[in-house]
Structure 1
Amino acid sequence: MVLNPEKTLLTRRQFITQLSALGLLPLFSGCEAIFSKPLSIAAHAWPGYEFMFLAMRENWLDKNQVALIETRSATDSLQKLKAGQADGAALTMDEILTARSEGVALSIVSIFNISAGADMLLAFPGINRLTDIKGKRIGVEEGSVSSLILHKALEAADLSSTDIIKVPLTIADHLDAWKNQQVDALVTYEPVASQLLADGAVKLFDSRSTPNLIVDALAVRTDRLKVSYRQAIMHLIEAHFKGLYHLNTNPQDASYRMAKHLNLPPKNVLNAYKGLVLPDLINNHRLLSGNKPVLLESATHLNKVLLQIGKINRSDTLNNLIDSSFLPTIL
């Protein structure tokens, strides 16, 4: 006998309705997640993002739900987003606003860190004052947070971009450029910064002078904030907080486990976090939740700065920029 599929197969809605009646819908939801692709998140080596990688290495992160794509720089992460090769990325808020201005709709679902000294302008010995960078070769990763730091440093020195020679460099090339003396100074960040400081670099400017301006966040494509990825996003955020909790409760063990990936000696890992504020779950809710999230005020100011310096060509409405619904509930 030949079966007629139109008469014998249930529609998806009928199937779910019957499962619900039988009390099996939660089981089906789990199966649906299995058959969907893992949430793909692009991220480069940076202390604030390291808890995700720690969770992956310690198997706290379910690879069937989340796939971390390690990149060489923020520029690479942005390129993967633009090419549709990633569902989200770990980026600074200015990078997120820049991507949105270029047509990549992103929403912030959690905050990794706020930079309070970890992003900096370093120079070779002999260049001891900020004004000394005039006419010098400055390595900077254009399109990333580094260009924002450079803008603020030049502003503090009462200089303009025409007073220096920009040398485009991604973070992956900073160490080689320094060792080969291809630059006189670098806008860089941890963990590279610690290595350069140990090599005698002079710190001229850092993000302590730009409070609440540099915020690293987990940004997900707005069209991915659907039921099929909801569990994966929440799982990733929980894994990050588990890694952060491990650092706070067992810093020596965490330092040992993170050292290799950060390319730092274990004894130097904690120093890499000295210039960072690491918001826990409560503070993530404080910054992201409510009708007027605290972060929205910083985003509004940053939006104006980026427009002023030409990093974006139109003001962002900031609609759908923040979605705190994926944060774990505070018990």
Structure 2
Amino acid sequence: MPHTLFNRRESLRTLLSLLCLPALAACSPPAAPLSVSAHPWPGYELMFLAAREGWIDERSVQLRESVSATESMQRLRAGTIDAAALTLDETITLLAEGVDLRVVLVFNVSSGADALVAKPHVRSLQDLRGRRVGVEDSAVGALMLHAALATAGMSRSDVIATPLTFDQHLAAWTQGKVDAVVSFEPVRGMLLRKHGRVLFDSTGLPDTIIDVLAVSAQTMADKNKRRALRLLIDGHFLALRHLRTNPADAAYRLAVRLGDSGPAALQSYRGLILPDEHANRRLLDAQGQLHQSVKTLSAMMLEWGQIARAPQLDRLIDASLLPHAEVPAR
């Protein structure tokens, strides 16, 4: 994770922004708050930090924690929430099922944060043959396991895949129910501290595991909900700016949910690229990388049997809620 040196001028601008945002948000809260589901993951935690610090008006946005991506996906299917923090492949899975969604924000790009972690007695991918591998019953888990095994000339049938939701990973490892698990931060770090061994990580799937904010098309058509989405996105970027300008303070605040100490919270961001407003505009642009990633990933998922049909992708990415680019002073 990049660290920015402390800058008084930047910090003052950030502080003024943080003070102003709640006042702006209080002007016209929607009749019903925007409901957003998210499971524990460093890339999503900046939303929760912004909410705790009052940088997002709680009357406008309601963050609903889930235990796993699977639960957030179920909520979107049922229509009980307006939006969810998901990986891009999980979003494509829902789209292929007929859930009409829009991607309006990139939280992070995984570059090593997702990994297949094995116990010390498993020394290589080939050693997994016939062993129990815990994996969440979601697209990202299946993709990671498939890619990892493929590099060793193996397939899923060569291992005993054990379905586990994210909240079950640590317990299954500790209780000896698995020999390896496809997991991510903060559990990935916990497993490494228990002498786990990384056999494969998301650097082997570049520009593939991308976490996004997926919003229902119905929500996007609601004027008040769109306003709340802008507040949420602005709050996320304010928290990201705070993390970059004052990482020590941000780490202390993030540790409330990510770990028992500031250093542990910061450590969980290793292997993650966190795009700011400018990077998000480039990613979500009509000619941006996200469009190509969506096409490539969708084709890969169809080939590997992760989705039954190719979804319509032409309206998936929507950059209209991102902050406008600043016009340089003349």
Tell me whether the two structures share a fold, i.e. TM-score over 0.5: yes
SS at 2:278's partner residue? helix
**Structure 2 residue 219 is the aligned partner of structure 1 residue 247:** no
* Residue of 52, 59, 68 corresponding to 1:57: 52
Structure 1 position 260, deviation (Å): 2.3
Instruction: Please state how far the C-alpha of 1:143 moved relative to its aligned partner.
Output: 1.6
C-alpha distance in 1 between matches for 2:263 and 2:82: 35
1:222 aligns with 2:248: no
User: Alpha carbon RMSD of aligned pairs, Å?
Assistant: 1.4
For 1:50 and 1:210, the matched residues in 2 are separated by 23
Tell me which residue corresponds to 2:259: 263
Structure 2 gap segments, 5+ residues each: 1-25
Cα drift, residue 39 of structure 1: 0.7
Paired AA for residue 195 in structure 2 = G
User: What is the alpha-carbon distance in structure 1 between the residues aligned to residue 262 and residue 71 of structure 2?
Assistant: 27
Asked if 2 retains the 8 angstrom alpha-carbon contact of 1:143 and 1:311, the reply is: no
Secondary structure in 2 matching 1:36: coil
* Structure-1 separation of matches of 2:30 and 2:214: 24
Q: What is the match of residue 209 of structure 1? A: 204
Shift of 1:311: 1.3
Report the equivalent of 1:236.
232
Deviations 1:244-290 (A, max 9, x none): 11110111111111112013432222221110000011000000023
Question: Equivalent residue of 1:89, what SS?
Answer: strand
Q: Percent identity between the aligned chains? A: 46
How far the C-alpha of 1:35 sits from its partner, in A, is 5.2
Question: How high is the TM-score relative to the length of structure 2?
Answer: 0.89
Match of 1:128 in 2: 123
Q: Deviations over 1:275-318 (max 9, x none)?
A: 0000011000000023x332110110000111011111001220
Moved over 6 A (4+): none
Structure-1 residue corresponding to 2:70: 75
Counterpart position of 2:273: 277
Equivalent residue letter for 2:312: T
Residue of 152, 159, 168 corresponding to 2:163: 168
**What SS does the aligned partner of 1:204 have?**
strand
Residue of structure 2 equivalent to 1:193: 188
Larger radius of gyration: 1
Query: What is aligned with 1:11?
Result: none
Please give the per-residue CA displacement for 1:139-180, whole angstroms capped at 9, x wherever unaligned.
000124111111110111110111000100001011100110
Unaligned runs of 5+ in 1: 1-29
Task: Indicate conservation of the 8 Å contact 2:34/2:228, yes or no.
Answer: yes
In structure 1, the residue corresponding to 2:199 is in which secondary structure? strand
Match of 2:110 in 1: 115
* 1:326 counterpart SS class: coil
**Aligned AA for 2:282?**
R
Q: Is the 8 A contact 1:123 1:204 kept in 2?
A: yes
| Separation in structure 2 between the aligned mates of residue 271 and residue 144 of structure 1, nearest angstrom | 26
In the alignment, is the contact (CA less than 8 A) between 2:136 and 2:142 conserved in 1? yes
Q: Contact between 1:107 and 1:222, CA under 8 Å: does it hold in 2?
A: yes
- Mapped pair 1:296 → 2:287: no
The amino acid across from 1:195 in the alignment is M
After superposition, the Cα gap between the structure-2 partners of 1:267 and 1:34, relative to the gap in structure 1 and judged at 3 Å, is: closer
Partners of 2:116 and 2:180 within 8 A in 1: yes
**2:60–2:228 Cα contact (<8 Å) kept:** yes
> Is 1:90 aligned with 2:85?
yes
Aligned counterparts of 1:117 and 1:158: Cα–Cα separation in 2: 21
Aligned: 1:321 with 2:316: yes
1:40-65 per-residue CA deviation (whole Å, 9 max, x = no partner) reads: 00001100000000011111111111
CA distance in 2, matches of 1:195, 1:252: 21
For residues 104 and 293 of structure 1, what CA distance do their matches in structure 2 show? 24
Amino acid at match of 1:214: I
Q: How far 1:322 sits from its partner (Å)?
A: 0.3
Paired position in structure 1 for 2:10 = none
- What is the CA distance between 1:182 and its match in structure 2? 0.4
